[in-house]
Amino acid sequence: MKILANDGISKSGIIALEDAGFEVITTKVAQEQVANYINANDVKVILVRSATKVCKDIIDACPGLKIIGRGGVGMDNIDVEYAREKSIHVINTPASSSDSVAELVFAHLFTGVRFLYDSNRNMPLEGDTNFEGLKKAYANGIELRGKTLGIIGFGRIGRSVARVALGLGMKVIAADKFVGSAEIKVDFYNGQFINVDIVTEPLEDLFKHADFITLHVPAQDGGYVLGKEQFDALKDGVGIVNASRGGVINEVELIDALDSGKVAFAGLDVFETEPTPAVQILMHPKISLTPHIGAATLEAQDRIGTELADQISSLLKTEK
């Protein structure tokens, strides 16, 4: 049985699938040719990440498809309900990349509080001629320890973020209309750990108290999670990180808030007009930028590949 991993899959995932008797195809097929390729090659399973879309037209055109798999959490590039109506299994790997995304959030937070986003731009230009000036310019950093981190969206990734924050000695508040509370286990050396119970709070309270805000919510059908009204409610000098989905922050309002000083810095891994982010965002001196790489660690890709392999093998074990 053939599996098309159109957006790639880790070597460990390929090995696991091949060991289970599947043929794995890693040829990158252009979006407009996906349906033809699936039918011409009798592909039964298509695996995607964020690049390839599996919408109604492909589902209708490929009656032989048995499984659509998404390597990652969000499935907004798949017509999930329609596929399931057609008796196609739709699977994903919601837990595999949580820690990788959480660590990227803190990469952006550390970058923001120590001005690395600006320092890394200016040191190559002025480091040999204005070293003392740059040293003075970047000498007013702050620590994350003791500050309050507001987490919007308290699913798997939000909880991984909370775990790191607690380990750093931060105060954590969270808001999630679907989650009332969660127990966060913080592991230490030699098997030691502590459990911390976090009860979610209304967004208004989070806005009032958070020194930093990180978003971990799905794509929004209408409106923004952070628009003008919400920016106005934030503490002055807050730092904001978005490693969830583009379109949950109004980027025009974000730029205004950065320019006014309401927001001290932002870290963005996703963008409203991805994959062509607005030039005003790309060039802003107070924004730390990454190109949607939250789940892109070797460890996460290994976990994603093997978890997809396990699910596929379980679903198709009698049909190989």
If you search the block for the tokens 């919400």, which residue do you land on? 230
DSSP state of 211: S
Q: Assess whether the previous peptide bond of 275 is cis (omega < 30° from 0).
A: yes
Give Cβ neighbours of residue 244 (< 8 Å, ≥ 6 apart): 153, 157, 215, 216, 217, 218, 270
35 vs 187: CA distance, rounded Å: 46
202 vs 187: CA distance, rounded Å: 28
Q: Which residues are catalytic?
A: 245, 274, 292
52 vs 46: CA distance, rounded Å: 10
Q: How far is CA 17 from CA 29, 91, 262, in A?
A: 20, 15, 50
